[in-house]
Amino acid sequence: MPRISILIAESTCLIRKGLSSVIQKLGNVEILQSVSNKAELCDIVNRLKPDILIANPNMFDSDYEDLKKPFVAANKMSLVLISEDKSIEDTYNADAFIHYKDNQSKILEIIEEIVNQKAEKKRINKSNETLSSREQNILKHIALGLTNKEIADQLFISIHTVVTHRKNITQKLGIKSVSGLTVYAILNNLINMDEVK
Amino acid sequence: MHIKKSMKMADVIQMNYMLIPVIHRFGIELGFGDKTVDQVCEENEVDLNFFLQLVNAYHDQDYFPKEELQSIPVREIIAYLKMTHASYLNNTVTDIEQKIKSLELEGNEDKKYIALIRNFFEGYKSELTEHIMREEDVVFPYVLAVDEIIKSEQFTDKNKKVFESFSIEEYEEEHDDVEEKLMDLRTIMIKYVAPPANTNLYHSIIQDLFRLEEDLNYHSRIEDKVLIPKIILMEKSIKNLF
């Protein structure tokens, strides 16, 4: 399971540290850093690209909605808001809410759910579509009409490795035939139409 | 629910519209009013037993009453399969090809992609044609020869030669998936190509591909589950005979 990174933005030191130590109890997460003001927050998000942002809305002042778009959406973060004020649930829009008075198991439950969603998304993205550069290279050779043996010789790898790559490529793309793979390669500019025999 | 001879033919079609091309291949036309399957078959001189077994096999993947199927004359099966082949090549596949071509002719910036799709489909078409030709030139004559030997209980020079030149096992092995390319094509059209301006036509091509695939699956089911087992049995009894 991929590790999920979390950034905590909360101005109260005690809350920040406390939340951080509670979240550590979840196995596959990594607390990137905790920040206490807006300027620092922007900087760290851009630099470290966390998966989840846990923030107190009072850090954003009045421009919460303005920040949300370029920030949360653009960085594909999940947003969890934390506050002592129960009414934030009505005022703001977020993926989840934590209240100061929530007990540990409640907090863990909320965070864990978001973490699992994120992890699942990451896993799907990984197994879907995106060919590694090695696979792209092999696909290119397949599309050019080379046999497994020829590909193995050219790339200095074993035939067995070529076969494994081919299997993975077919699985990722959902395309089995050589001519189908060729069309994919052309559509994705891996090869040129004139290169195909 | 199985299709029975007392059912109304209209109800049968309502139940599964994929049977429209099937009955058409038997020469049965729509507009049968309230006539039953039995009556329609009689009017069109279609073997009722064969018709029932076939539509049920089409309609229900798991329908395979061995005994009834065994009683179907080989000639009927071959004649039906040939009709199906002709309808694929002359109608279904040609229609799809025409649609792709007219999409290409509408030409704009997507032209290049449509040309790719057309090339691909043409490749598929020639593969399918080759497969069908092989069946008609080699497999079917062989099957008919086997049938003749069983019926007359003797070899003639001619059917002996055909019988020895081939075995259905060979066919089983080479009866690989011509459908693979077809599946790839729809995957490519659905996942990897941004549709051209004429989305209606593009969508209708994809739907045609699905239907062709479904129909071909039915078709291979008849070959794999009816024809091949029957011939394997016949081959055995010929070996026992002589």
ipTM, two decimals, is 0.76
Residue with tokens 């197994």: A127
Note whether A180 contacts B181, CB cutoff 8 Å: yes
Whole-structure pTM value: 0.65
Q: Would you say residue B3 lies in a domain?
A: no
pLDDT tens digit sequence for B24-74: 888 899 999 999 999 999 999 888 988 888 888 877 777 766 677 677 888
Q: Are residues B60 and B81 in the same domain?
A: no
Give the rounded percent of residues in chain A with a pLDDT score beyond 70.
90
Q: Would you say residue B4 lies in a domain?
A: no
A26 in contact with B, Cβ within 8 Å: no
Indicate the residue type of B198.
N
Q: Are residues A158 and A85 in the same domain?
A: no
Note whether A180 contacts B188, CB cutoff 8 Å: yes
By Cβ distance, the residue of B113, B185, B193 closest to A180 is: B185
- Name residues whose C-beta falls within 8 Å of residue B20's C-beta, 6 or more positions apart in sequence: B13, B30
Provide the b/e sequence for B159-169 (b: ≥16 CB within 10 Å).
beebbeebebe
Sign for the CA dihedral angle at A51, A165, B119, B133 comes to negative
**Paired tokens of B39:** 């009556």
Q: Are residues B84 and B110 in the same domain?
A: yes
Domain span at residue A76 reads: 4-127
The number of folded domains in chain A is 2
Helix, strand or coil, per DSSP, at residue A81? strand
pLDDT tens digit sequence for A39-83: 778 778 877 788 888 888 887 766 666 666 667 777 778 888 888
Q: Would you say residue B88 lies in a domain?
A: yes
Question: How far is the alpha carbon of B116 from chain A, nearest alpha carbon, in Å?
Answer: 7
**Helix crossing, B179-187 with A178-187: angle to 10°?**
20
